[in-house]
């Protein structure tokens, strides 16, 4: 039987289309428990490849006959070995090209909405890492918010759309993934904005992203307006796009809220976080559609693959927005926090421009889930 090769893009389509898939993950148990390919209708079997070196007979009864089987490992080598062994046993299986490494890097651009006068808003869903980036396109111009490090994905996409990238924003100094923002700006001549309060240690030039700053994109002058919303970091800033969308960065997610501890100042920033979520955001129109910079679990994806929810619905349903007691809130966001993201201190230093690791090192730093939230 044949072994087929699937790309991360093909697997992303399975996630977004809600397809069935059986994943045989042959990484070791710790790696699987930490982080795997999530899908609404995916089933899993985790058997480390090194337990299959003498043969795959034992797992044959555990594999379904009526579903696609995808073998996954860290980089692809072991999944090819196991897929070949299964193929010799007469099964039709596929392996994931590039393994979890390529899954971590893949971005799926999905249109969120048409904006006023022919403008468009795209969400770039990095399924393997839970990162969300945005591009506003209008009248031949583009603005990008929270770009991940795969800069060519954004520059190519803008080029396809015939748009010139004019403005590149980071809502805050990221700790879970490496920003592509300033590199895109350098390549395209766009202006790169970063909140000044998050930029005390950065070693490159940037334009201060101040509260109330508004830029207009393209001929139809779609507004992208900054709203200071500290708490995840001291500089965290949200954006209101076209008076319809609220880009919340890492402050508010669909099913969780931002954690205040990744710069080491949880206790100091709790009050800011509460003020942002319980006062500042409360003054906004409830019909705004929240577009966060992350998702944590696959259930946060909508039917079309986007991650978006009405602000008013989140006020009603998001637990982190419904803790009446300030002390209880403090405990929620400072006690029992999930583990910190892989290499988060090193990632912050990369985003400050203090160190410039090579591509493999950057990949290694970003392995694993993002863990920017508390639920």
Partner 1 sequence: MTIHADVVLDAKGLACPMPIVKTKKTIEKEVEEGQVVEIQATDQGSKADLVAWAKSTGHQYIGLVEEGDVLFHYIRKCNPEKADAAEKTFTQTASNDELANVTGTVLDVREAAEYAFGHIPGAVSMPLGDLEARMNELNKEEAIYVICRTGTRSDLAAQTLAANGFTNVYNVLPGMSEWQGETAQTL
Residue from 26, 73, 105, 241 carrying the catalytic annotation = 73
CB of 95 to partner 1, least distance (A): 12
Stretch that binds partner 1, among 37-45, 76-84, 267-275, 291-299 (CB under 8 A): 76-84
CB of 338 to partner 1, least distance (A): 20
Q: Which residues of 29-49 are buried (b: 16+ CB within 10 A; e: fewer)?
A: eebbeebbbbbeebeebbbbb
CB of 53 to partner 1, least distance (A): 6
Q: Compose the 37-66 pattern: x for residues touching partner 1 by CB under 8 A, - for all others.
A: -----------xxxx-x-------------
Q: Please tell me the chain's helix, strand, coil percentages from 3-state DSSP, rounded to the nearest 5.
A: 35, 25, 40
CB of 368 to partner 1, least distance (A): 12
* Residue labelled with tokens 């996954």: 72
Query: Do 107 and 12 touch, CB atoms closer than 8 A?
Result: no
Structure tokens, 271: 């009050």
How far is residue 121's CA from residue 138's CA, in Å, rounded to a whole number? 9
CB of 344 to partner 1, least distance (A): 19
Computed on alpha carbons and rounded to an integer, the radius of gyration of the chain in Å comes to: 21
Query: Do 176 and 340 touch, CB atoms closer than 8 A?
Result: no
Number of residues located near partner 1, criterion CB under 8 A:
16
**How far, rounded to the nearest angstrom, does the alpha carbon of residue 161 sit from its chain's CA centroid?**
23
CA 225-226-232 angle, to 5 degrees, is 145
Which CB atom, from 89 or from 364, has the smaller least distance to partner 1? 364
Which CB atom, from 258 or from 369, has the smaller least distance to partner 1? 369
- Asked whether position 75 contacts partner 1 by CB under 8 A, the answer is yes
Active site residue 73: yes
Stretch that binds partner 1, among 25-33, 189-197, 218-226, 345-353 (CB under 8 A): 25-33
Which CB atom, from 93 or from 296, has the smaller least distance to partner 1? 93
- Asked whether position 298 contacts partner 1 by CB under 8 A, the answer is no
CB of 360 to partner 1, least distance (A): 9
Query: Do 77 and 49 touch, CB atoms closer than 8 A?
Result: no
Query: Do 83 and 95 touch, CB atoms closer than 8 A?
Result: yes
Residues 77-136 that bind partner 1 (CB under 8 A): 77-78, 81
- What's phi and psi for 7, nearest 5 deg? -90, 165
Helix, strand or coil, per DSSP, at residue 359: helix
Indicate which single residue of 7, 20, 28, 187 sits in contact with partner 1 (rule: CB under 8 A): 28
Residues 349-368 that bind partner 1 (CB under 8 A): 364
Helix, strand or coil, per DSSP, at residue 192: strand
Q: What is the DSSP string of 264-284?
A: S-HHHHHHHHHHIIIIIGGGS
Which CB atom, from 37 or from 291, has the smaller least distance to partner 1? 37
Give the residue numbers annotated as catalytic, written as ranges.
73
- Name the site residues for partner 1 (rule: CB under 8 A): 28-31, 48-51, 53, 73-75, 77-78, 81, 364
């Amino acid at each position: 039987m044949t072994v087929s090769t699937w790309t991360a893009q093909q697997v992303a389509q399975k996630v977004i289309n809600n397809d069935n898939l059986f994943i045989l993950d042959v990484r070791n148990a710790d790696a699987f428990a930490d982080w795997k390919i999530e899908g609404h209708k995916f089933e899993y079997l985790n058997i480390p490849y090194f337990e299959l070196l003498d043969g795959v007979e034992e797992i044959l009864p555990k594999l379904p006959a009526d579903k696609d089987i995808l073998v996954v490992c860290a980089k692809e080598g072991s999944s090819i070995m196991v897929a070949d062994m299964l193929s010799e046993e007469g099964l039709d299986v596929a392996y994931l090209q590039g393994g979890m490494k390529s899954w971590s890097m893949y971005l799926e651009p999905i249109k969120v909405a048409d904006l006023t006068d022919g403008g468009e808003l795209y969400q770039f869903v990095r399924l393997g890492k839970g990162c969300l980036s945005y591009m506003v396109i209008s009248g031949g111009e583009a603005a990008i918010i929270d770009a991940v490090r795969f800069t060519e994905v954004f520059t190519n996409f803008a080029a396809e759309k015939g748009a010139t990238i004019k403005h590149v924003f980071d809502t805050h100094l990221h700790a879970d993934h490496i920003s592509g923002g300033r590199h895109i700006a350098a390549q395209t001549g766009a202006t790169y904005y970063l909140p000044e309060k998050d930029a005390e240690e950065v070693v490159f030039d940037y334009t201060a992203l101040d509260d109330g700053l508004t830029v207009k994109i393209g001929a139809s002058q779609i507004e992208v307006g900054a709203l200071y919303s500290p708490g995840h970091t001291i500089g965290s800033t949200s954006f209101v796009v076209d008076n319809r969308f609220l880009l919340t960065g890492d402050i508010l997610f669909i099913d969780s809220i931002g954690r205040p501890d990744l710069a080491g100042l949880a206790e100091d920033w709790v009050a800011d976080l509460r003020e942002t979520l319980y006062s500042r955001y409360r003054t906004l129109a409830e019909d705004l559609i929240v577009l966060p910079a992350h998702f944590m679990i696959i259930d946060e994806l909508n039917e079309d693959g986007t991650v978006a929810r009405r602000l008013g619905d989140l006020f009603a349903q998001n637990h982190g927005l419904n803790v009446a007691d300030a002390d209880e809130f403090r405990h929620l966001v400072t006690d029992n926090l999930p583990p910190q993201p892989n290499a988060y201190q090193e990632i912050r230093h990369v985003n400050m421009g203090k160190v410039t690791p090579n591509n493999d090192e950057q990949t290694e730093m970003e392995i694993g889930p993002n863990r920017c939230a508390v639920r």
